[in-house]
Chains A and B, each alone.
Chain A
Amino acid sequence: MHDMRFTIPRQDMNREAFASSVPDFNRKSEIMKTDTGYKCRITNIISLTEQEKLFQLRIADPQERRIFRFKPGQFLMLELPGYGDVPISISSASSNHEFIELCIRKAGHVTSALFRTEPGMHVAIRGPFGSSFPMDEMTGHHVLLVAGGLGIAPLRAPLFWINEHRDRFRDVHLLYGAKEPSQLLFSYQFEEWKTISHIRLHTIVEHSGAEWKGSTGMITELFRDITIDAKNTYAIVCGPPVMFKFVCSHLDRFGIPMNRMFVSLERRMHCGMGKCCRCMVGSTFTCIDGPVFDYWSVMNLKEAI
Chain B
Amino acid sequence: MIYKVISKPEFRRFIDALVKANNSFGPRLADRTADGKPVYRFMPVSSVDEIDFDYTATASSAKHFFLPFSEELSRFRFHGSDWEQHSAYEADPVVLIGLRACDISALNILDDVLLNGNYPSPYYLAKRKNTFVIGLDHLPLPDCFCKSLAHHTVSTGFNLFCSDIGEKYYLSINSSKAFTYLKEFQTEDPSYEDNCLLTERRKLISDSFKTEIDVTSLPSILDIEFDSPVWEKWGSKCLNCGTCAMVCPTCYCYSLEERFDIDLKGASRNRKLYSCNLVDFAVVAGGHNFRPKNGDRLKYRYYHQHRGFAENDNQQICVGCNRCGRACLADINPKDVINDLRMEKDSCMICVSQSPGRI
Contact = CB atoms under 8 A, between A and B. Distances in A.
B119 A30 contact: yes
A268 B282 contact: yes
Given A4-B21, A122-B81, A275 B252 contact: yes
Interface in B93-130: 93-95, 113-123, 125-126, 129-130
A12 B130 CA distance: 8
A278 B83 contact: no
B308 A8 contact: no
A3 B21 contact: yes
Nearest to B184: A5
Task: Please report whether the interface of chain A is mostly helix, strand, loop or mixed according to DSSP.
Answer: loop
Contact-residue bracket for chain B: 35 or more
B282 A278 contact: yes
Interface stretch (A65-73, A77-85, A180-188, A210-218): A77-85
A274 B255 contact: no
Interface stretch (B146-154, B283-291, B345-353): B283-291
Interface stretch (A17-25, A89-97, A168-176): A17-25
Given A5-B184, A284-B309, A82 B267 contact: yes
B228 to A, nearest CB: 12
Interface stretch (B31-39, B51-59, B202-210, B296-304): B296-304
Contact of A2 (B20, B125, B226): B20
B122 A31 contact: yes
Contacts, number: 178
Contacts of B129: 11, 13
B286 A2 contact: no
B286 A108 contact: yes
Contacts of A6: 17-18, 20-22, 181, 184
Nearest to A274: B311
B254 A283 contact: no
A276 B296 CA distance: 18
Contact of B254 (A12, A14, A276, A281): A276
Contact of A13 (B122, B256, B290, B296): B122
Given A109-B285, A277-B252, 14 more contacts: A6-B18, A8-B22, A8-B95, A13-B129, A24-B116, A30-B119, A35-B74, A79-B258, A82-B76, A122-B81, A274-B118, A280-B309, A281-B290, A288-B311
Interface of A: 1-15, 18, 22, 24-25, 30-31, 33-37, 39, 79, 81-86, 107-109, 111, 120-122, 124, 241, 266-268, 270-271, 273-278, 280-281, 283-285, 288-289, 302-303
5 closest A-B pairs by CB: A108-B285, A82-B267, A13-B126, A107-B285, A13-B89
